[in-house]
Amino acid sequence: MARNLIEKILDSHLLRQEDDHLLTTYDHLLLHDATGALLIKPFEELARPLAHPEKIVAAADHFVPPATAERAEILQQYLDFTSKLKGIRRKPFQGICHQILVEDPEVGPGQFIIGADSHTIMAGALGSMACGLGSTDILFSMVTGYTWLPKPPVCKLELTGSSAPFIRGKDVALAIVAEIGGTRAMPDYAYECFDRTTGLLTMDSRFSLACMAAEMGASFFIMVPDEITTTFLANKGNTTPPLLPDQDAAYETTLAIAMPNQSLVSIPPAPWHVEKASDLGDIIINQAFVGSCTGGRLEDIADTAAIVRGKKVADNVRLVVIPASQDIYLQAIRAGYIEDIIRAGGIVDAPSCGPCGGIDKGIIGKGQTMIATSNRNFPGRTGPGDTYLASAPVVAASALTGVITDPRNIK
């Protein structure tokens, strides 16, 4: 019988059905310092060995470097804990956990990936099933080697249309979130996304899109692999032939989304309030932030550099740029992007989550406004001020003018 991609991946990972749920194996399990630290005590109390240490990837990215003494202590407890777990893949300080996961050559299509963070769903951009879980779920998987889930209904999502100047995966993500986020979210649904656009989204744009599937409320979000995927995989030394859905596979529902033809902006207090950048009045900003697992990749930094090169960031605006990984940082240095940004008056910080989770450097104060490439703008998420979400071209353009700006207006 014809199967969709979700069904194929579940079939290849199924241990057994238990009541109305499935017990499945997984290929990788992702940890980071903030949620990983919550596991330490319960893991010690549970006193069971790791089922598959080699499947565990342990990043440290949230409190890096820590901004308060308490966070320094939490980070240290986590580092001490993970260094005692023999055989795991420790990767502290190499970047945001989701980015270093997809950079890992062992991570590829057809896999089942779980992580102690909601944006783990981003790895679905490689053609795998990936989802975020809470600490107890993760602990259970660490010691048993399995996870539990209801079999998700699947939506076939087709991206259509063609690319326009300055339109990135972030704009596509915002268009979809506007359509299916918030009270319209279908929290049990998995999405299989077919890129049918002319020109195809870049891999960096696809990561950005899949990352924001968390804001769509999706349980899983898979970019169906194509030549963009296989090229990315080959470049990191992964030659696994991608698993594909059968041509005549059945889906519970379908959705078609056209590529936006103008830059979009999400207006606080939630990602699903979306408007065209050109329709916004003058919204004065205090900070422009390029970073996070949604918007800190090379494409975003290249866009930022291209827009600010030879110009100056507006008076009283802080342009904060945080590459999503050390690897991206090095590439951006080599390409001259970092120098362009610094010369324009930008502040470049070491790879970490920065202000995205509202817990570290770069957060905004009361009454302040930020435009950011990150993924959430719920009240309090990035500090007590207001955060607007957009692509790197919009954020960079806004940094130059001091108001939220459509990048087409920068000459």
Partner 1 sequence: MTSHRAYIIGDNICTDLIHPPNYFSLDKSRREKGFLRGVSTKWADTIRPGAIIIGGDNFGCGSSREVTAQVFHDRGVKLVLARSFARIFYRNMVNLGIPVCRYRGDHPWQHGEEIKVEHDGNACLIRSDQTSLTYEPPSSFVQHLVANGGLLQSIDILFSHAV
Binding site for ligand SF4 (CB under 6 A): 96, 98, 117, 119, 292-293, 353, 356-357, 374-375
Query: Should residue 42 be labelled a site residue for partner 1 when binding is judged by CB under 8 A?
Result: yes
Q: Are 25 and 13 in contact (CB under 8 A)?
A: yes
Is residue 139 close enough to count as binding partner 1 by CB under 8 A?
yes
Would you state the structure tokens that stand for residue 256, as one six-digit string?
A: 């078609």
Taking a C-beta distance cutoff of 8 angstroms, is the pair 34, 359 a contact? yes
The reply to whether 303 sits near partner 1 by the rule CB under 8 A is: no
Nearer to partner 1, 38 or 228 (CB): 38
Task: Please tell me the total number of residues recorded for the chain in this structure.
Answer: 411
Q: Which two tokens stand for residue 389?
A: 């979400």
Helix (H) or strand (E) holding 240: none
User: Which does residue 293 bind out of ligand SF4, partner 1, none, counting CB within 5 to 8 angstroms by kind?
Assistant: ligand SF4
Determine, following the binding rule CB under 8 A, whether residue 362 of this chain makes contact with partner 1: no
CA distance 141 to 130: 14
**CB-nearer residue toward partner 1: 101 or 302:** 101
Choice from 112, 140, 166, 207 touching partner 1 (CB under 8 A): 140
The phi, psi pair for 24, rounded to 5°, reads -130, 160
**Cis preceding linkage at 355, omega within 30:** no
User: Per rule CB under 8 A, is residue 66 in the interface with partner 1?
Assistant: no
The verdict on 106 binding partner 1 (CB under 8 A) reads no
Residue 112, SS3?
strand
How many helices, marked H, and strands, marked E, lie in the chain?
15, 19
Q: Does 116 bind partner 1 (CB under 8 A)?
A: yes
Compare residues 149 and 172 and give the one whose CB is closer to partner 1.
149
The partner in contact with residue 356, picked from partner 1, ligand SF4, none with C-beta cut-offs of 5 to 8 angstroms by kind, is: ligand SF4
Which C-beta is closer to ligand SF4: that of 149 or that of 353? Answer: 353
Say how far apart CA 410 and CA 309 lie, in whole Å. Answer: 12
Contact flag: residue 329 with partner 1 (CB under 8 A): no
How many amino acids of this chain bind partner 1 (CB under 8 A)? 51
Shortest approach of partner 1 to residue 253 CB, angstroms?
Answer: 16
| Pairing label, strands 28-31, 56-60 | parallel
Q: Quote the least distance from Cβ 259 to partner 1, whole Å.
A: 26
The DSSP letter of residue 47 is: T
CB of 347 to partner 1, least distance (A): 22
- Name the binder of 16 from ligand SF4, partner 1, none, CB < 5-8 A by kind: partner 1
> H-helix or E-strand containing 372?
strand 369-372
User: Is residue 366 close enough to count as binding partner 1 by CB under 8 A?
Assistant: no
Q: Kindly identify the residues of this chain, within the stretch 8-37, that bind partner 1 according to CB under 8 A.
A: 15-16, 18-21, 23, 34-35, 37
Q: Tell me: does residue 50 bind partner 1 (CB under 8 A).
A: no
In the sheet with 253-258, reading across from the earlier edge strand, the strands are 220-223, 190-195, 154-160, 253-258
Binding of partner 1 at residue 47 (CB under 8 A)? no
Task: Compute the distance between CA of residue 266 and CA of residue 79 in angstroms, rounded to an integer.
Answer: 36
Out of partner 1, ligand SF4, none, which partner does residue 187 contact, by CB within 5 to 8 A per kind? partner 1
Q: How far is CA 103 from CA 100, 175, 233, 372, 398, in A?
A: 5, 27, 9, 23, 30
For the record, the structure tokens of 276 come out as 């065209």
C-beta of 219: minimal distance to partner 1 in Å?
Answer: 5
- Under the criterion CB under 8 A, does residue 372 sit at the interface with partner 1? no
163 vs 375, which CB is nearer to ligand SF4? 375
Q: Which helix (H) or strand (E) holds 137?
A: helix 135-144
- CA–CA separation, 76 and 37 (whole Å): 9
Q: State the nearest-atom distance from the C-beta of 69 to partner 1, in Å.
A: 12
Residue 268 binding partner 1, by CB under 8 A:
no
Quote the least distance from Cβ 374 to ligand SF4, whole Å.
6
Q: Which amino acid belongs to residue 132?
A: G
Considering the complex, state which of residue 21 and residue 196 has its C-beta at the smaller distance from partner 1: 21
Q: DSSP characters for 308-345?
A: HTTS-PPTT-EEEE--SBHHHHHHHHHTTHHHHHHHTT
Name the strand (E) or helix (H) holding 401. Answer: helix 392-401
Q: Which residues bind partner 1 (CB under 8 A)?
A: 15-16, 18-21, 23, 34-35, 37-38, 41-42, 46, 48, 70, 74, 77, 116-118, 131-137, 139-140, 143-144, 148, 150, 182-183, 185, 187-188, 215, 217, 219, 270, 357-359, 376, 378-381
